[in-house]
Structure 1
Amino acid sequence: MAAVLTATAGTMMAQDLTSAYFTDDFKYRHDMNPAYGNDQGYVAIPVLGNFNFKLQGSFGVGDVLFKNPDYGKKPGAKKTTTFLHPDISYDEAMKGFDKDGNNLIFDMDIPIVSVGFKGMGGYNTVELKERNHFAMSMPYSFFDFAKSMSNKDYYFDDMGARAWGYAELGLGHSRQIFDNLRVGAKVKILLGAAYADLSMEGMHAQLNDNNQWILEGKAKGEINMKGGKFKTKHKEYKSVPDKYYDEVTGIDTDGAGIGGWGLGFDLGGIYEFKDCSVDWLDGLKVSLALTDLGFISWSNTMVAESSGNPFVFEGFQMKYKDGKFENGGDDISDDLADFANMEDKGDKGGKTTGLASTVRVGLEYPMPFYDKLSAGALYTHHFDGIYNWNDWRLSANVAPLNWLNGGINLGMTSFCTTMGWVLNVHPSGFNFFLGMDHIIGKTGANMVPLDSNVSFNLGMNIAFGSKKKKENNADLNTLTF
């Protein structure tokens, strides 16, 4: 079912660059706070205007896959194996999983059209983009049960997956309403392509008085997609000849179109302290933004549910030998098929889903010894149920030239401690930026990152209009730190 949700989300390509929040004339700051404008107008080069990808999570490939202790010792053994291998110790296998929950989140947008320009007393933006999201939540107890089965009770709370995709047409405007206050807002028309949610209810494993594991709980999958329907496959039980069941194997998207519509709003403000009685407050900027406030109303809801009937589960490692299941493996396979099999319940009609909103609070302060350098602090909270996350960043932002700026930052997120950076080149007529919110760590075969926190940002835009010149009050040749 998780694979079905991933497929539903579609092709994914881009997301906000948090490291550039305090970077002046970064063309896409208005996506993080609609109060921000730019020195110049711009027209995005399609797709390349804001091309990037971003993955966040509590666990990655390196936490699930290990070097196989049998490699080179047993015929046919592969180089890698999972954490379930009996020769991998419990402590080694579990060190990569978070006891507070394990999430994997993939957010991406595909920019199709993006334009910014000055006019109507402020700065205006018009954007058309495709937005996609995938999230998965796995509790620590699930991995603990799979590896050890040493306790008498396991509760698999907050276990599920979610994905969606929709097109967004956004119209934004920001302006200076007082000398020290700038505000902005966006209204966004949303056209839904697909929404999918897999949730678990009452997931529980308990050891009874006969030393038997009783596994119970119910799974429910909901898909919103115009013209879509579940694909099913008639399968035969492995241990019971001539007995069959229907398994949900995917989604038929023939004739799929616009499955829903909705509205979204972004709101933001920036306040700069000026001519304060407390001298050191002068120049301090405080910013606040709420983005993706809104909803999508879907026309149909396909539902699939498991029976939820409890059954005796004999465990995996009891049947594991030389990398494969033996003897009772067919019985276990049949039990799991009955337990996890999603039965098509048909179309249950329309429903409305809320967007996953984000709040950002920022502080930026210019350095008194060098007016081209500022320090920034940014807090981001993403509201998405069991897929919530936080991001704290401290940054140093520098603009040594009128057409060149950037910065570096240290971040503490719900998933890791990391570093980010951004370089923004914006002379008259052209803009190029490059940056990362997460510096890529160790990689495995084919350069696949072993950590799930990865990002990369690149953009090329055509710029127009005059640039605001800044006074240079510092001599770079005598600057010392």
Structure 2
Amino acid sequence: MIGAVNATVGSTSLGYQDIIDIIDDGDDFYTKPDFMNRLKDNNKLNVNFSTEILSAGWYKGKNFWSFNIGLRTDIGANLTKNMFTFLNEMETVEENWRNSNYDISGQQLNINAYTEVGLGLSRQINNRLTVGARVKALLGIGNMELKLNKVAMNANLPSDARINQLQDPAYLSSLGVDDITKLRSEIEGYHANLAVDAHLESSFKGLNLKKEDGQDYISDFEFESKDMGIAGYGFGIDLGASYKIMDNLTVSASILDLGFISWSKSSTQIANAKAAGIDMKGSDYTSGIDPNNIPGSITAIENNIKDLQTDANGYMERVSGGDVLDYEMLQLRTEEASKSRKSRLASTLVLGAEYGFFNNKLAVGVLSTTRFVQPDALTELTFSANYRPKSWFNVALSYSAIQSAGKSFGLGLKLGPLFVGTDYMFLGKNSNSVNGFVGVSIPLGGRKANKEG
């Protein structure tokens, strides 16, 4: 085989276009009722890309050896409905931030990218049992884990009209003892709280955590392609076996991508936001307000309301950014990595069975796949039918019941050295899962004769 490319985009609830909008961080997609209605409490999305840059296989005695160089990228995220509700209401309800109660905790982002160099061996033990294994050296390109463990806000703040009134000399001069007593109680009821507990671990050479002048927290992520390189090393292994229960019935099992990558300390950056919250108490703005001293109270009200307005504006700027990943709200502060870190691969468990007809020119099968990606494992059950009248011409039709919510099908075609296909056909922008693969395979030499081992 010269090379192949496989790309998959999928979600438990979101459509293909929704995922693209989230990745692009569009400005208004979360204001659309159709988008909000599709959301579940927790919305998982995954983007996977793999390519075989080069691969080859050959027989030597009873063994079949294979070699490959490939690139793998896995992106996984958990996004809660509460977060999109927060973005929606902040965008569509004017000054909603003044009287709000939101908890958008639980967001998570995972990225893992690496190159693998693999050497595989498959051996036919007898005419029924075949076993195989592949060992892989891994060159880490990058890994990132971002967890928003807690992001919660609660506010009760005066409107602009009320603040203007409390700064109007004519209004203040009309206040009596009872008015000042009530006003003091009103101010004591104002509050604004923002609690943030977020953690970022990144191991990417060439990834810069940018800060704006005068700020000590991250304002953006920026990649410098000239600085990119190997950020870690690891090891992986694939194991598999197939067994012919009868001449036409074969079962198989495999576990793929067992392994890990160790990321170097020098390429690792860590950031936290545990001490970056806001805690505004109304009682902090009542100093000097005393019903028994009306002239002094008027001066104190003017000064306290100015301070309250300044702090309220700071709270507003912090919580009303309108971005899925809001750096201003999180205010992640970097710290030096004390050691290297490890990440595991997204292992996959595959169980299958196939029954052949007409000398195996036609076959039906079932395949169970469980992929242990982040943040949660993905399970799929696929039914397939394969027609392979010639070695140079195969066609397959499949139906996957879970990830596409039963609303998609797959199609594959091998024509000479070219093979193309999809496990999840693109059926419009609301497709939950979309997948495609293409490759070229050029055989060198003849087939191995089937002998009993």
TM-score (norm 2): 0.71
334, 346, 350: which one aligns with 1:344: 334
Alignment of 1:92-241 (within 5 A): 92-99=34-41, 101-147=42-88, 155-156=103-104, 158-205=106-153, 214-226=193-205, 229-234=208-213
Aligned partners of 1:112 and 1:130 also within 8 Å:
yes
2:422 is the alignment partner of 1:436: yes
Offset, 1:143: 2.5
Counterpart for residue 182 of structure 2: none
- 2:316 partner amino acid: I
Matched position secondary structure for 1:247: coil
2:442 is the alignment partner of 1:462: yes
In 2, Cα distance between equivalents of 1:164 and 1:268: 24
389, 407, 414: which one aligns with 2:396: 407
Counterpart for residue 321 of structure 1: none
Alignment of 1:350-365 (within 5 A): 350-365=340-355
* 1:398–1:356 CA distance, 2 compared to 1 (3 A): same
Give the CA RMSD over aligned residues.
3.3
In 2, Cα distance between equivalents of 1:415 and 1:332: 40
Aligned partners of 2:387 and 2:396 also within 8 Å:
yes
289, 303, 306: which one aligns with 2:270: 303
In 2, Cα distance between equivalents of 1:467 and 1:64: 44
Counterpart for residue 73 of structure 1: none
Offset, 1:413: 2.9
* 1:293–1:153 CA distance, 2 compared to 1 (3 A): farther
* 1:212–1:287 CA distance, 2 compared to 1 (3 A): farther
Offset, 1:65: 9.9
Counterpart for residue 20 of structure 1: none
- 1:181 partner amino acid: L
Offset, 1:158: 4.0
Aligned partners of 1:128 and 1:168 also within 8 Å:
yes
Aligned partners of 1:311 and 1:335 also within 8 Å:
no
Offset, 1:412: 1.9
Counterpart for residue 422 of structure 1: 412
Aligned partners of 1:122 and 1:176 also within 8 Å:
yes
Deviations 1:197-226 (A, max 9, x none): 111213345578969774423111111134
Aligned partners of 1:307 and 1:338 also within 8 Å:
no
Segments of 5+ residues of structure 2 without an aligned counterpart are 91-95, 157-187, 281-311, 321-326
Offset, 1:363: 0.9
Higher-Rg structure is 2
Deviations 1:83-124 (A, max 9, x none): 554xx55xx44222133x212211112322211111141211
Counterpart for residue 54 of structure 1: 8
In 2, Cα distance between equivalents of 1:157 and 1:363: 42
216, 221, 230: which one aligns with 1:250: 221
Counterpart for residue 384 of structure 1: 373
TM-score (norm 1): 0.67
Counterpart for residue 323 of structure 2: none
Matched position secondary structure for 1:387: coil
Segments of 5+ residues of structure 1 without an aligned counterpart are 1-42, 67-79, 236-243, 275-281, 314-327, 443-448, 471-481
Aligned partners of 2:10 and 2:16 also within 8 Å:
no
Aligned partners of 1:226 and 1:299 also within 8 Å:
no
82, 93, 109: which one aligns with 2:28: 82
- 1:271 partner amino acid: Y
- 1:197 partner amino acid: E
200, 221, 232: which one aligns with 1:260: 232
* 1:378–1:405 CA distance, 2 compared to 1 (3 A): same
- 2:415 partner amino acid: V
Offset, 1:302: 0.8
Counterpart for residue 241 of structure 2: 269
In 2, Cα distance between equivalents of 1:467 and 1:84: 55
Offset, 1:255: 3.9
Percent identity of equivalent pairs? 26
